[in-house]
């Protein structure tokens, strides 16, 4: 009897020891979640359209040799050009640091040279071993059609299978610090230096600008999320007014970028103004589903009107025949 009790106690001790790593890992997950924010993304299609582009003012203000194509690609320098985004699936889970780097931090150039870095021992395994954090995030996938002046192709230009929104925007500060430390390690490697391989060190302002250009979605409430995000990154050139992020930039002259987010946490309008407040580039958006419902509503009112007129006319005829 005593032997059996000791055996049971020993088993419980072993099980408890095995569970400790899992419990610690779970506690890490909890530390990076935040119940104050929610995601309001909905399945559907958003159309972005270039409403205004003053090429001469752009050249006098931003850069002589650049165009909006350098920001958004395609025909984004053509008035009337449209792009399309169709949100497909949504979910939430935890992500390791390497996934966060790939999705939120790496620039296009960094992503293109990362396979070389991986071959020299600085791949995903290295990142996750040195930055052992898990981050809760909402995950979403979507199809994307680049700006075009013609009809959209049947097949999308790109498919993004796991874009993410951090559930706690405060986490972005630690992520950026980890990335810059990782980039410094890459840049100080003699072999990679000899291959002319380097990763850029990023500031908070630069990262926020990349979020704008890549049109990442954000959490709700919009104002709180944007404020926390930019404050924790110690941004020097951004301010928040309601659901609008205002970014101060310098090209040939000073100019301002105003980005308005809709209730879903998606960019709805994008405006570029010179120092006099003149809007020389503007993108607006609409949802075909909403347009469909508006048309359906108008048709319903029209049909209802006809029915009402028919009933009134019928009653008048009945009254007429009754009196005669």
State residue 151 phi and psi, 5-degree precision.
-70, 150
Is the pLDDT confidence value at 10 over 50? no
Nearest-angstrom CA–CA distance, 159 and 141: 8
Is the pLDDT confidence value at 13 over 70? no
Q: Give tens-digit pLDDT for 190-241.
A: 999 999 999 999 999 999 999 999 889 999 999 999 999 999 999 999 999 9
Q: Give tens-digit pLDDT for 70-124.
A: 999 999 999 999 999 999 989 999 999 999 999 999 988 999 999 999 999 999 9
For residues 252 and 274, is the Cβ–Cβ distance under 8 A?
no
Q: How far is CA 306 from the centre of its chain?
A: 46
Nearest-angstrom CA–CA distance, 179 and 204: 12
Tell me, what's the pLDDT at 3?
Answer: 45
Nearest-angstrom CA–CA distance, 212 and 201: 18
Q: How does strand 244-250 pair with strand 254-261?
A: antiparallel
For 53-78, the DSSP string reads E-HHHHHHHT-SS--THHHH-TTTTS
Q: Which residue has the tokens 């021992």?
A: 121
Tell me, what's the pLDDT at 323?
Answer: 61
Residue 159 pairs in a beta bridge with 143
For residues 169 and 229, is the Cβ–Cβ distance under 8 A?
yes
pTM assigned to the model: 0.78
Nearest-angstrom CA–CA distance, 6 and 275: 79
- Contacts of residue 225, defined as CB under 8 A and 6 or more positions apart, other chains included, come to 37, 169, 218, 219, 265
Q: Which residue has the tokens 């309008």?
A: 269
Nearest-angstrom CA–CA distance, 288 and 82: 13
Instruction: Give the mean model confidence (pLDDT) for residues 124-142.
Output: 95
Q: How confident is the model at residue 290 (pLDDT cuts 50, 70, 90)?
A: very low
For residues 180 and 202, is the Cβ–Cβ distance under 8 A?
yes
Percentage of the chain surpassing pLDDT 70? 78
Instruction: Give the mean model confidence (pLDDT) for residues 25-41.
Output: 64
């Amino acid at each position: 009897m005593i032997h059996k009790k000791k055996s049971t106690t020993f088993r419980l001790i072993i099980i408890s020891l095995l569970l400790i790593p899992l419990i610690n890992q779970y506690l890490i997950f909890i530390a990076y979640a935040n119940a104050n924010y929610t995601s309001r993304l909905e399945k559907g299609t958003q159309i972005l359209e270039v409403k205004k582009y003053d090429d001469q003012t752009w050249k006098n203000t931003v850069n002589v040799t650049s165009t909006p194509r350098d920001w958004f690609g395609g025909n984004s320098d053509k008035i009337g050009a449209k792009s399309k985004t169709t949100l497909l699936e949504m979910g939430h889970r935890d992500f390791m640091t390497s996934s966060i780097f790939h999705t939120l931090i790496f620039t296009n150039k960094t992503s293109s040279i990362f396979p070389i870095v991986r071959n020299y021992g600085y791949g995903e395994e290295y990142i996750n071993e040195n930055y052992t954090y898990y981050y809760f995030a909402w995950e979403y996938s979507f199809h994307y059609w680049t700006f075009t002046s013609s009809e959209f192709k049947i097949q999308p230009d790109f498919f993004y299978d796991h874009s993410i929104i951090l559930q706690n925007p405060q986490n972005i500060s630690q992520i950026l610090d980890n990335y810059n430390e990782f980039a410094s390690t890459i840049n100080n490697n003699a072999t990679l230096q000899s291959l002319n391989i380097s990763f850029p060190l990023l500031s908070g302002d630069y990262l926020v600008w990349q979020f704008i250009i890549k049109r990442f979605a954000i959490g709700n409430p919009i104002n709180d999320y944007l404020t926390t995000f930019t404050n924790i990154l110690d941004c020097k050139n951004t301010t928040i007014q309601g659901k609008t992020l205002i970014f101060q930039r310098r090209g040939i002259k000073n100019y301002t970028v105003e980005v308005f987010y809709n209730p879903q946490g998606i960019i709805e309008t994008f405006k570029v103004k010179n120092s006099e407040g003149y809007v020389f580039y503007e993108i607006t958006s609409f949802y075909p589903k909403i347009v469909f419902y508006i048309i359906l509503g108008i048709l319903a009112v029209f049909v209802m009107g006809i029915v009402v007129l028919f009933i009134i006319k019928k009653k008048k005829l009945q009254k007429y025949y009754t009196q005669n």
